[in-house]
Amino acid sequence: VEDRYNILMMIDKANDKMEFFARFLEVYPFKLYKEIKDEFKNLISSVAQGVEELINCAILIETDFDGAYKKTFEIEEKKREARTAKFNLLGELFKMKDDPTKVYLTSKLVTYIYDIVSWVEETSDHLRGLIIKYPSR
C-alpha cells in the first residue's frame, strides 16, 4: 500500500511540474524564436512521450513486471533525447545577441519543460527499484 501511495505521489509531482510549465508558458511575454522552434518541438515531444510511457509503466507494474521493466528503459531514452534537445536549445539561446530578459526567460522555459521528463525518469527509476524489490510478481 505504501509503495502504491509513493507511486501516486511521484506521478502527482510530475503533474505539478506540467501545471507549472503550462502556467509559465501562459504568461511568457514573448514569441518563441523561430531559430529554435524545431528543437523546442523535439524537446516537447520527448517530454510528452516520456510522460505517456510513465503512465503506461505505472499501469503495467500491476500486472506485467517484465513489460513495466522494459518501459523504464524507454523512459530513460526519452530523458536522453530531451537532454540533448535541452542543451542544443540552450547553446543556441546563449549565442543570441538579443534582449537579455527574453533569452533568460526562454532558457527558463526550456529548463522547466526538461524538469518534467527528468522527474518522470526519476519516477521510473523508483518503479524499476520496486520491480527488483518484488521480483516474484
Q: Domain range for residue 109?
A: 2-133
Confidence band for 121, pLDDT divided at 50, 70 and 90 = very high
Instruction: Record the pTM.
Output: 0.92
Confidence band for 116, pLDDT divided at 50, 70 and 90 = very high
Q: What is the CATH number of the domain that holds 6?
A: 1.20.58.220
pLDDT one-digit tens code per residue, 19-45: 999 999 999 999 999 999 999 999 999
| Residue 126 identity | H
Residue 137: pLDDT over 70 = no
Q: Count up the domains in the chain and report the number.
A: 1
pLDDT one-digit tens code per residue, 38-87: 999 999 999 999 999 999 999 999 999 999 999 999 999 999 999 999 99
